[in-house]
Amino acid sequence: MIYTVTLNPSIDYVVHMESLVAGITNRTTREEYYYGGKGINVSNVLSELGLENTALGFVAGFTGEAIEKSLVKPGIHPDFIHLKEGLSRINVKIKHNDETEINGQGPRIDEESLEKLMKKIDDITDGDTLIISGSVPNTMPNDIYERFLERLKDKDIRIVVDATGKLLVNSLKYHPFLIKPNRQELSELFETTVKSAEDTEKYARKLQEMGAQNVLVSLGGEGALLVDEFGKVHTLGIISRNVVNTVGSGDSMVAGFVAGYELKKDYAYALKLGSACGNATAFLPGLATRALIDELMEVYSEES
């Protein structure tokens, strides 16, 4: 079984506006809403690819109920902890020229609820995959990722960590199967400017030396680079189409990579499927669909 963890899921409320003036009533031209959180995004794309998965995390209030109901899809098994107080957050994204985001804090997570999640983590068994991604709510211990991994260190579980800064670095001693920084995050981690393919490979290998098995670096408009556990470097470019949305593209890449490896145990194929999923999300207003993923996989196959 594949497990995803979303500590602070959200409803993303997207409003499009012709103008935005502070201090007066503004009108939208259209609105959209999406149920999200990085782990939930991964679960949704895994479902599109036909892989069963269990979504773990916390939900609260009527917004939490809506998030949970959104996951009634083939292959997704929601298994959230229901908090007694508060509301799962709503993030407002205002699209007028540039995009302005107002992200909510989310509910307070009490010790009893945290322990319930820990028990679910303990139930993960040999052969399973655990994907933990995103930031930690300010009401939770900042070493929560390490607590998860410490409890699982003696089990044969594929760990995927998609996080930034100390959250990522502190997870490396547990030798995660996959990490997925982008180029900017590489620059921040090593306090330098990573620009070239040579620099990207160099610092990806440093992360391997620090404990990661496979390092997948998303390069935005330049595609992706993977240094696999055997030291081989794989690169893949993007497919050139109109980019509609980048939110969730990295999560989709993680889902595709994990699915690709689960299906074929082949890193080149995993990179191709991960890239197709990431691109598909970028070309759509929401997350990747199976139809578009399959179409893009055909394009990559023709190019190779």
Told to judge if 79 belongs to the known catalytic residues of this protein, a careful annotator would answer no
At 83, is the secondary structure helix, strand, or coil? coil
Residue with tokens 């509301």: 87
Spell out a b/e string for 144-172, using b for 16 or more CB atoms within 10 Å of the CB, else e.
bbbebbeebeeeebbbbbbbeeebbebbb
Residue with tokens 């068994």: 125
Other CB atoms within 10 A of residue 225 CB? 20
Say how far apart CA 263 and CA 255 lie, in whole Å.
Answer: 12
Say how far apart CA 118 and CA 120 lie, in whole Å.
Answer: 5
Residue 194 sits at φ, ψ, to 5 deg, of -95, 115
Nearest to 275 by CA among 242, 248, 303, 239: 239
Q: Which amino acid is at 171?
A: S
| DSSP run (H or E) holding 269 | helix 267-282
Catalytic residue of the set 12, 162, 228, 251 = 251
Taking a C-beta distance cutoff of 8 angstroms, is the pair 49, 256 a contact?
Answer: yes
Say how far apart CA 9 and CA 88 lie, in whole Å.
Answer: 7
Q: How far is CA 247 from CA 36, 38, 253, 276, 293, in A?
A: 10, 10, 12, 15, 17
Taking a C-beta distance cutoff of 8 angstroms, is the pair 62, 87 a contact?
Answer: yes
At 68, is the secondary structure helix, strand, or coil? helix
Question: Residues with catalytic annotation?
Answer: 251
